[in-house]
Amino acid sequence: MSATVLEPDSWVDLYADYLYNYALARVSDPEVAKDLVQETFFAGLRSAANFKGNATERTWLIAILKRKVIDHYRKINSIKGKAEVRIQYKSSNENEGEWLEEQVADPYSLEENDAIENEELGLAIQDCISKLPKKQSKVFTMKTVEGLETEVICNELGINPSNLWVMIHRARAALMGCLNENWFRS
């Protein structure tokens, strides 16, 4: 396996959106998320010499971003940042027999799984979009994510509507092929 070489010049193009969504899922403030991504790039550049080349660039940047998210919660001194697990065994008689097993999260509760699943889905979709040809992914995200009008996109990119629909079609077909079948259960 050849070692990965870092190419900071293309970081913003390749990973900014991916890192941004990852951060946004954790801090839920767009401005903070943006700052964290920027800081991640800075830190990446600073410590590029330490990169050993046995992870992909993106994995490495995500690892840095994770630290940045934790730092962020420490800095704002939030409850999350101070989190530690404390479990008290109840001493009163009426709660006798309530052991640890009964205090863990309800495995049948769907809510928190939804959030995790949606995040995984988001990252899977982004992975697939990043594999599209550049122009296709541009047209597709303008249309689907930004929700722009066909006319606006055509004007901006200098294409005609039938070009646009052909590109949208190719992009959607490619995404259907790329996204794991598991996502398509009805």
The contact set with another protein (CB under 8 A) reads: 8, 11-13, 16-17, 20-21, 24, 30, 34, 37-38, 41-42, 45, 118, 121-122, 125-126, 141, 143-146, 150, 165-166, 168-169, 172-173, 175-176, 179, 183-184, 186
CB of 68 to another protein, least distance (A): 14
Report residue 109: phi and psi, to 5°: -75, 130
**Lookup result for tokens 């962020």:** 72
Nearer to another protein, 122 or 159 (CB): 122
Which contacts (CB < 8 Å, 24+ apart) does range 2-6 have?
Answer: 3/52, 3/53, 3/54, 4/51, 4/53, 4/54, 4/55, 4/56, 4/57, 5/53, 6/44, 6/48, 6/51, 6/57
CB of 123 to another protein, least distance (A): 9
Nearer to another protein, 4 or 144 (CB): 144
Which contacts (CB < 8 Å, 24+ apart) does range 153-161 have?
Answer: none
Nearer to another protein, 42 or 89 (CB): 42
Q: How far apart are CA 47 and CA 37, in angstroms?
A: 15
CB of 125 to another protein, least distance (A): 5
Nearer to another protein, 71 or 117 (CB): 117
Contact present, 85 and 141 (Cβ < 8 Å) = no
Q: How far apart are CA 51 and CA 39, in angstroms?
A: 17
Nearer to another protein, 2 or 186 (CB): 186
CB of 186 to another protein, least distance (A): 7
CB of 96 to another protein, least distance (A): 43
